[in-house]
Every structure is written in C-alpha cells, then in structure tokens.
C-alpha cells in the first residue's frame, strides 16, 4: 500500500506533466484524464476538486496560452531535429531533411492535445502559486469576492 503523502509538497514538474492545479498541485484541472478524448480534452471544472482554486482565474485567462503552446512546439521541433541529426543525419545529397519535416509535422499534430493541455497548466502556474495552506474564499470582512486576489489586499 502507498504511504500517506498528503503532507509532502508535490514536485512542480510532475504536477505540470500531470495537469494538476497550480495552487495545490493535487487536483486535476481537466475533467477527463484522456487527452485524446478530443471532444472533452479541454473541459475544465469551475474549481479545483481538491483546494477550490478557481480554474479559469478570470474571463479569457487562457488566451495567453498561445505563447506557451508556441514555445512547447518549438521545443519539440528542436528536440526532434537534434535526435534526427544524431541518429539519421542530414545531407545535401538526399532528401532526409524533408523526411524530418514530415515526421516532425506529423508528431506535432499527434501531440497537439497534450501540448494544449500542458500550455494551460503551465500558464496557470505562471500566475497561481503553490500554497499548501491556501483556503478558498476571501478574508473575513474585506468584502472581496475573488479568492485569487486575497493576498493582494
Ligand atoms: Zn487545487
């Protein structure tokens, strides 16, 4: 049986790869675990099921994920380029570079659901910080309604 790890801080990389909430790093920010369930792969609950952090922090919050998605796609391209160069190689005497272009494009299309989900998870982690003692809701008597900005008071 697994030991109770609820008091251990989950690692950032693991929580990003597992699409976990940035606040608690435990609750999933997607309603489905399968990224290739294309109809539902980007559906998010209103709040994190573990800590209650609002998943869509403000209206249009995830528009900026395009930047993260672009960076992730470039990282995949660079990784496949280096791997291709090391294991297959490039030459001006044949068309291996065009094979790389095709394989890379195919890989990007196949990985797109994963990249979109990771982009949102990373974007959320930019703005929402880990806090194991965070509790949903504004401080008493402040009249503030958005729990995200409770620390800004
Ligand atoms: Zn959470």
pLDDT tens across 40-82, in order?
999 999 999 999 999 999 999 999 999 999 999 999 999 999 9
The predicted pLDDT at position 5 comes to 58
Determine, yes or no, domain membership for 132.
Answer: yes
Give the burial class of 118: count Cβ atoms within 10 A of its Cβ; 0-12 exposed, 13-18 middle, 19 or more buried.
buried
Which residues touch 48 (CB under 8 Å, ≥6 apart)? 21, 23, 24, 27, 29, 54, 55
Residue 110: inside a domain: yes
Give a yes or no: residue 143 inside a domain.
Answer: yes
Q: What is the pLDDT of residue 134?
A: 77
**How confident is the model over 107-130, as a mean pLDDT?**
96
The answer to whether the CB of 28 falls within 8 A of the CB of 20 is yes
Task: Please tell me the pTM assigned to this model.
Answer: 0.80
Q: Is residue 1 part of a domain?
A: no
In the DSSP assignment, the letter for residue 138 is P
Q: What is the mean pLDDT of residues 101-107?
A: 97
Tell me, in angstroms, the distance from the centre of ligand 1 to residue 48's CA.
5
Which domain does 26 fall in, by range?
A: 19-152
- Cα(138) to centroid(ligand 1), Å: 16
Looking at the structure of the chain, the number of domains it has is: 1
The answer to whether residues 129 and 22 touch, using CB atoms and an 8 Å cutoff, is: yes
Write down the number of H helices and E strands in the chain: 3, 0
What are the backbone angles phi and psi of residue 96, rounded to the nearest 5°?
-60, -35
The pLDDT-based confidence of 151 (bands split at 50, 70, 90) is low
> Mean pLDDT in the chain?
87
Measured in angstroms, how far is the CA atom of residue 3 from the centroid of ligand 1?
21
């Amino acid at each position: 049986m697994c030991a109770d790890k609820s008091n251990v801080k989950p690692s950032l990389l693991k929580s990003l790869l597992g699409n976990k909430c940035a606040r608690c790093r435990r609750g999933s920010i997607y309603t489905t675990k399968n990224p290739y369930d294309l109809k539902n792969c980007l559906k998010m609950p209103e709040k994190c099921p573990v800590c209650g952090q609002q998943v869509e922090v403000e209206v249009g919050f995830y528009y900026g994920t395009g930047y993260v998605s672009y960076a992730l796609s470039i990282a995949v391209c660079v990784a496949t380029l280096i791997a291709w160069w090391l294991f297959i190689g490039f030459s001006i005497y044949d068309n291996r570079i065009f094979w790389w272009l095709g394989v890379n494009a195919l890989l990007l299309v196949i990985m797109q659901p994963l990249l979109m989900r990771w982009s949102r998870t990373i974007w959320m982690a930019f703005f929402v910080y880990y806090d194991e003692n965070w509790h949903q809701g504004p401080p008493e008597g402040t009249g503030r309604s958005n729990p995200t900005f409770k620390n800004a008071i």
